[in-house]
C-alpha cells in the first residue's frame, strides 16, 4: 500500500502540479501587490478617488454597497491587465522565438524533370506526362 502511494507521489504529474500551485500562489501575491501598491494608487491619482467603497444607496432600508463592487471590478481588471502584459505577452514572444528556429518540414513532393509538374517524392513515374522519374 505504501509502495503505491510512494509511486503516486513521485510521479511527474503530482510534483508538477504541486510546483505549479506553489508558484501560482507566489505569483498571485506579486500581482496583488503590483495592483494594490502601484496600479490602484495610479488610478486614484488620475481619478482623484482613491476608494469607491463609500458609494452606497438605500432602498427600503436595504443598503447596496455598489462601491465595493466597483472596487472589485477595478481590481479584477488591473490583475487581468498585469497578467496579460507581464506574463502572457512575454511568454507568447518567447514561444514564437523558440518555434521560429524549428527546421522546415521535409518536402513531400518533387518536380518532374520532363513536364515540371509536382509529383509525390517516392513516385517512379509522372502522373501527368508518364515519363520515368529517377
* Angle ∠(79,89,28) on CA atoms, nearest 5: 30
pLDDT at res. 58: 93
Listed as own residue / partner, the contacts of 107-112 with beta carbons closer than 8 Å and 24 or more positions apart are none
The domain of 62 spans 2-102
Distance CA 63, CA 5 (A): 53
How many domains does the chain contain in total? 2
Cα–Cα distance, 83 to 35 (Å, whole number): 10
pLDDT digits (tens, 9 = 90+) for 40-51: 778 778 877 777
More confident residue, 35 or 130: 130
Do 66 and 121 lie in one domain? The reply is no
Q: Are residues 73 and 130 in the same domain?
A: no
Provide the pLDDT for residue 57. 92
Q: 72-129 pLDDT, tens per residue? A: 888 788 778 878 888 889 989 988 888 876 667 778 899 999 899 999 999 999 988 9
Amino acid at each position: 500500500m505504501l509502495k503505491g502511494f510512494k509511486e503516486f507521489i513521485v510521479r511527474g504529474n503530482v510534483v508538477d502540479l504541486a510546483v505549479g500551485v506553489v508558484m501560482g500562489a507566489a505569483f498571485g501575491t506579486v500581482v496583488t501587490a503590483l495592483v494594490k501598491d502601484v496600479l490602484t494608487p495610479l488610478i486614484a491619482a488620475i481619478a482623484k478617488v482613491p476608494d469607491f467603497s463609500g458609494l452606497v444607496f438605500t432602498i427600503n432600508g436595504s443598503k447596496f454597497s455598489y462601491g465595493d463592487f466597483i472596487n472589485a471590478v477595478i481590481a479584477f481588471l488591473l490583475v487581468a491587465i498585469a497578467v496579460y502584459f507581464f506574463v502572457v505577452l512575454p511568454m507568447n514572444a518567447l514561444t514564437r522565438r523558440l518555434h521560429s528556429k524549428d527546421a522546415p518540414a521535409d518536402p513531400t513532393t518533387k518536380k518532374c524533370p520532363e513536364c515540371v509538374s509536382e509529383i509525390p517524392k517516392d513516385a517512379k513515374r509522372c502522373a501527368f506526362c508518364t515519363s520515368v522519374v529517377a
